[in-house]
Structure 1
Amino acid sequence: MTYPIIDTHAHLDDNRFQTDLAQVLQRSLDAGLERIITIGIDRETSEASVSLAAKHPLLRAAVAIQPNHVHEINPGDWERIQELARDPSVVAIGETGLDRYWKKAPFDLQIEYFFKHLDYAAELNLPVIIHCREAEQDIVDCLKKHFEKRGPVAGVMHSFTGSPEVAEACLACGLHISYAGMVTFKNAEEIRLAARRIPEDRLLVETDSPYLAPMPHRGRRNEPAFVKHTLEFLAELRGVSEAHLGVATTVNARKLFKLPNPS
């Protein structure tokens, strides 16, 4: 069955793709992918993402300093992210957000940089890609403050694992919701509670490659072609055809990231 797919979140600069990226991209094309967004998490990986997007027509880039890395910022790093964000290959600011799980960076510094990313994305009219781990209420509180100041937040909660209530709060602020391989795991019924209810015009899919491959590839290195399994699972979960959801999520991604229709 042929239908378009966009993997809205991958980390193709990761050294696990160093020796076979060309084959990974070919498998992506063979699986029907029309675009992959490769994501930066600091200055170095943001530069790498932009460089990859310049070399491979299948790719677009996102640039940011991820919350677990904000304490490692060197002089000039944030200014470099701002510069990179203006590159024609860049379609989003991300990933940014908040993380209470790893406890690597002071939380007040994470919040400071989350707002910096949100404000700069709004200035450039780019969507944001938001990371959240064990910080759902903090994310919602920040989004509501930004919403009150600037209006709806264009962007996506990436690899969403939150409750239906958190999803509703994020949707109310203007965001899309994206699901990765974890929704396919046998013990992920809580994730699926919200996945059944996300409005179709706000739903996206991703891999978060090379992490957390979906069933039936769990335990392997994840890669963009595997997004097809997540899409198939979500379609069955929501009671629609794979082709229908493939088209719907692709249309959503094109609109959010201002990606041209290849046809």
Structure 2
Amino acid sequence: MLIDSHCHLDRLDLEPFDGKLDSALAHAREQGVKHMLCVCITLDKFKDVLTIAEQNDDISCSVGVHPLYDGVKDTDIDALVESSKHEKVVAIGETGLDYFYNKEPGNHQLQQESFRKHIQAANQVNLPIIVHTRDAREDTIQILKEENAQKCGGVLHCFTESLEMAEAAMELGFYISFSGIVTFRNAEELREVCRRVPLERILIETDSPYLAPVPHRGKSNQPAFVKEVGQFVADLHGLTYQELCEITANNYQRLFSKSNI
């Protein structure tokens, strides 16, 4: 079973599909994608994300505020908890820390406060968190530990950091998700990390519409392209494509157990 564990279906480029999301989803299904997790990045767009999930049996969703969006300063635990009660909401996030695009210390504090609130909400409702982290390795792990994120568990999505960070997260029960970045020509260090992450801790994703894998690099990404990510990761681990799909699908179902698969 092939699963795209992280995509933004409300943000896809639908021009190749005559403006129709249903056509993009149908194409993904034709490529073998059996389930998609549509990830929320702003609370004001949560209804759009939820509607997509409600209209499709093979789509789940999350609720959260991405660290690079203005709404991060208004993160509300009660709003996260209330929204997560819907049967289609299987995770809290996308949340986390990104010091690469915003280097202002004041903003970093806002991100940290929002991140903590997401973890607290996740622990309240016993749902996993979806973590975005870039150039914030020490603070990300420290906050996960301080907020007892091992209780809710989660995933470091679209992973691009060090093996040491991956190992620290896995010690807290987290999964590591690889996107199309692992296929990029200059990503040999990341490929080595992928080889060394235990299979029982790996997920695959597109993060579409961003970061299309080779041979689609430069195009707008879409859930169908998770097939290329899966084949590439399978090759790195010396597995068949079907073996990798089954392993990552089982991992997904363990982590996002509320998903209706």
Give the TM-score band, short-chain normalised.
over 0.9
Alpha-carbon RMSD across the aligned residues, in angstroms, is: 1.9
Maintained 8 Å contact 1:43/1:77: no
The residue type equivalent to 2:10 in the other structure is D
Is the CA contact (8 Å cut-off) linking 1:160 and 1:180 kept in structure 2?
yes
Q: Deviations over 1:133-179 (max 9, x none)?
A: 111111111112223xx644410000001111111001011100000
Cα separation, 2, equivalents of 1:151 and 1:208: 24
Distance in 2, Cα, partners of 1:233 & 1:219: 18
Written as runs of structure 1 = structure 2, the 5 A alignment for 1:215-234 is: 215-234=214-233
Change (3 A) 1:153 1:87: closer
Determine the structure 2 residue equivalent to 1:84: 83
Structure 2 counterpart of 1:120, one-letter code: A
Letter in 2 for 1:39: V
1:5 aligns with 2:30: no
2:253 maps to: 254
User: 1: distance between equivalents of 2:109 and 2:53?
Assistant: 33
CA contact (8 A) 1:161 1:191 kept: yes
2:20 matched residue in structure 1: 20
* CA deviation map 1:52-98 (0-9, x unaligned): 10111221101101111255655x96543332111110000010000
Deviations 1:208-244 (A, max 9, x none): 0000100100011100010010010011011111111
SS in 1 for 2:93: strand
Letter in 1 for 2:156: M
Offset at residue 106 of structure 1 (A): 1.0
Structure 1 residues 162 and 67 mapped into 2: Cα distance closer, same or farther (>3 Å)? same
Question: Partner letter of residue 122 of structure 1?
Answer: N
Structure-1 separation of matches of 2:45 and 2:154: 20
| SS at structure 1 position matched to 2:186 | coil
* 1:79-134 alpha-carbon deviations (Å, 9 max, x no partner): 43332111110000010000101217711111111111001111111000000111
Give the C-alpha shift of residue 49 in structure 1.
Answer: 0.9
- 1:255, CA displacement in angstroms? 1.2
Q: Secondary structure at the match of 1:16?
A: coil
Moved more, 99-108 or 162-171: 99-108
In structure 1, the partner of 2:136 is: 135
In the alignment, is residue 180 of structure 1 matched against residue 179 of structure 2?
yes
1:189 paired residue number: 188
The match for 1:126 is 127
2:99 counterpart letter in structure 1: R
Query: Does the CA contact (< 8 Å) of 1:205 and 1:231 recur in 2?
Result: yes
Q: How does 1:40-79 map to 2 (within 5 A)?
A: 40-70=40-70, 73=73, 79=78
Q: TM-score, normalised by structure 2?
A: 0.92
TM-score by length of 1: 0.91
What SS does the aligned partner of 1:61 have?
strand
Identity over aligned residues, as a percent?
38
Secondary structure, counterpart of 1:22 in structure 2: helix
5+ residue gaps, structure 1: none
Q: Tell me, yes or no, if structure 1 residue 144 matches structure 2 residue 145.
A: yes
Matched residue SS, 2:197: coil
Q: Higher RCO, 1 or 2 (CA under 8 Å, sep at least 6)? A: 2
Kept in 1: contact 2:73–2:114 (CA 8 A): no
SS at match of 1:56: coil
Deviations 1:27-54 (A, max 9, x none): 1111111110001111122221111101
Opposite residue 27 of structure 1, the aligned amino acid is H
Amino acid at match of 2:159: F
Cα distance change, pair 80–261 in 1 and its aligned pair in 2 (3 A) = closer
Contact between 1:70 and 1:109, CA under 8 Å: does it hold in 2? no
In 1, Cα distance between equivalents of 2:254 and 2:12: 31
